[in-house]
Structure 1
Amino acid sequence: MWPCPHRSNDLGSADVPADPVVDCAVYVDGVRDPHPYTYAEALAHVRKTGKGWVWLGLHAPDDAQMTDVAKVFGLHPLAVEDVVHAHQRPKLEFYDHTMFMVMRTVAYVDHDSIAETAEVVTTGEIMMFGEPDYVVTVRHGDHTELHSIREALEQQPKILALGPAVVLHAVADHVVDSYVDVADELDTDIAELEADVFSGSDVHIDPVYLLKREVIEFRRAATPLVGPLKRLVEPNPWLPAEVRNYLRDVSDHLTTVTERINDYDMLLSSMLDAAAAKIGIQQNTDMRKITAWAALIAAPTMIAGIYGMNFDNMPELHWRYGYFIILGLMVTVCFLLWRNFRKHGWL
């Protein structure tokens, strides 16, 4: 049994597995019990007294660690397997009386220029198990901390007194707010990229592909969460009506984010088309220039080739001014070709 300290870090030695327990507490009437329980003791205490509920926070538990937690809380093996292997699609499932929810987190990767980075967003996961007397949060990823959420809720005992459902709302609200922040940052990146694509400067299509790929990754995290949140706002015995009202607001914010993501995707597709068209035009322009210069070189080359065949019956070989006449002819032909190409915009 892993201990359930008041707070633990996420670090461990190379030989000893990191303690997955980040924090654990019993809350009675919204107030944290200061007694340091193991998570098994905490759940036993709550069920024995019939008062309060347990909040257990885990970070990246391995199979053995999660199996031990599952035995204590009676978690379904399929859900436990999802937690251990992670990389799940956002979803909401019920196993008998246990709620299991998966949310994908998204964080913006700071960079000086979209053309100088390989990643714009990074993702993680938060998974939650819930019953009326406990909630277990499991997170994967370095940017998925929930400590600030717990501290904020502990400052509001009236809200915590509503039970584990408030944790579900707080985590969902935190995740969706992070979506909004990422969307705002992407606004700036897309505006800069749009200015580059539609300006007169050279077009670099790689940053457009990169940003479109990152927007798709963002969409994979946010869009599938719409369905689970809509299910949660429907009447159900696990969530108080007040919490459902707050979740409805979170669901509305998520809908706004998904609409923005779709707009980004369409705009980037348009930019890809525009960039490809500009590249095609640029290539055509380059080919015209190459063809024009090739013609300018070919004309004197042809004359010089004929002049240098040295047949006896070529009268210009015996002209006193033949050499200068041929040079003049080459210059004249080249000038006429250059003026014609210049007039039609090839040079």
Structure 2
Amino acid sequence: MHAVIVDSAIYRDGRRTEGPDDLSDALGEARATGDAFLWVGLHEPTEDEFELVSSEFGLHPLAVEDALTAHQRPKLEVYDDSLFMVVKPVVYEPEHDTVATGELMIFLGDSFVVTVRHGEGAPLTAVRKRLEAEPDVLRHGPTAVMYALCDAAVDHYVDVAGELQTDLEELETEVFAPNGSTKNTAARIYTFKRQVLEFRRATGPLAQPVNRLAGAAGVPFVHDQSRPFFRDVSDHLTRVNEQVEGLDRLLSDILSAHLAQMGVRQNDDMRKISAWAAMAAVPTMVAGIYGMNFDHMPELKWAWAYPTVVLLMAGAVLGLYRLFKRRGWL
């Protein structure tokens, strides 16, 4: 069981204190003092490993099932004895220009916080260290942990959105370059659009839970004084969602412009091919006529017939070339 518990501690008056190893004793100690709470962090627990935690903290079976199954949308659910929230942290991988998402489940109740991490994108270690360096924030109890986790995830969203914006500008410059290569460009745009879609699945659904935490109606187990902080998170998230929507629209426009550009280039190629085929058709026709095995043909006995026909064909080709050149076909 201890292998999946990444960290566990009791926070009393904003300070970390090491509690009993037994979760039931630790939770009882935190509740006995009244100004403390227990924070347990787990990483990808199995059903058997999580059963002890869920029974000790009285977590709802449906929330436990979601935490174990993962692959959940960001959401906020209120149960009788706890609050369950799902956040999808996002990490940008610059070596592959891809977006990787993790999952973070937060159980919040009376004097306890249980976090379950899936994947590598959750910023739990950094958040815990930052909170432990700010005891004034930790004094607000479990709500401070939920706020800090949401705030850290949204801050990562802002960074990832900036990286995607930079990559999109580079792709846009390459697509519209005068001599830019069109090889696999449509595939690259489509792959980029998939990355934006993956990012959007993490940021879009989170808006409703954060707005609910910031709303005037209030949420059980969440202090009313925390609403301004969640409003700040909501503002940042709104800005990220607007930026993601802009990226998606711009990608669609770039793809449409690229396809139109490809059509123009294909028309130019067809005009060039048609022009060269027309120039080749004239001498082919004349040579074909004079290649027929007939005795009675014009100019067959004339001494200057051959150079005259050759000059005629060259003149016809030259005339067609100049005509197509003026029209921009060549």
Superposition TM-score, scaled by structure 2 size: 0.93
Q: Deviations over 1:195-237 (max 9, x none)?
A: 2233323343332222222111111110110000011112234
Q: How does 1:145-184 map to 2 (within 5 A)?
A: 145-184=123-162
Kindly provide the amino acid, as one letter, of the partner of residue 239 in structure 1: V
Q: How does 1:154-233 map to 2 (within 5 A)?
A: 154-202=132-180, 203=182, 204-233=185-214
> How many angstroms apart in 2 are the aligned matches of 1:31 and 1:292?
82
1:310 and 1:317 in contact (8 A); partners too: no
Partner of 1:15: none
Structure 2 residue 63 is matched with structure 1 residue 82? no
> How many angstroms apart in 1 are the aligned matches of 2:304 and 2:48?
99
Select between 120-129 and 137-146 the one with higher mean Cα deviation. Answer: 137-146
1:25 and 1:37 in contact (8 A); partners too: no
Kindly provide the amino acid, as one letter, of the partner of residue 279 in structure 1: M
2:47 and 2:68 in contact (8 A); partners too: yes
In structure 1, which of residues 283, 290, 302 is the aligned counterpart of residue 285 of structure 2? 302
Provide closer, same or farther for how the CA distance between residues 248 and 316 of structure 1 changes in structure 2, counting only shifts above 3 A.
same
Residue 201 of structure 1: SS of its match in structure 2?
A: coil
In structure 1, which of residues 37, 45, 52 is the aligned counterpart of residue 21 of structure 2? 37
> How many angstroms apart in 1 are the aligned matches of 2:43 and 2:85?
16
Q: How does 1:1-347 map to 2 (within 5 A)?
A: 2-3=1-2, 19-35=3-19, 37-47=21-31, 50=34, 52-111=36-95, 117=96, 119-202=97-180, 203=182, 204-234=185-215, 235-347=218-330
Kindly provide the amino acid, as one letter, of the partner of residue 253 in structure 2: S
Shift of 1:337: 1.0
Shift of 1:141: 1.4
Residue 140 of structure 2: SS of its match in structure 1?
A: coil
Unaligned segments of structure 1, at least 5 residues: 4-18, 112-116
Kindly provide the amino acid, as one letter, of the partner of residue 184 in structure 1: G
1:106 and 1:218 in contact (8 A); partners too: yes
Shift of 1:252: 0.7
Superposition TM-score, scaled by structure 1 size: 0.89
Shift of 1:260: 1.0
Unaligned segments of structure 2, at least 5 residues: none
Q: Deviations over 1:154-194 (max 9, x none)?
A: 12222212111000000000000000001111221122222
Q: Percent identity?
A: 48
Partner of 1:9: none
> How many angstroms apart in 2 are the aligned matches of 1:313 and 1:77?
102
Kindly provide the amino acid, as one letter, of the partner of residue 231 in structure 1: R
Q: CA RMSD in A?
A: 1.7
Runs of 4+ in 1 over 6 A off after TM superposition: none
Residue 80 of structure 1: SS of its match in structure 2?
A: helix
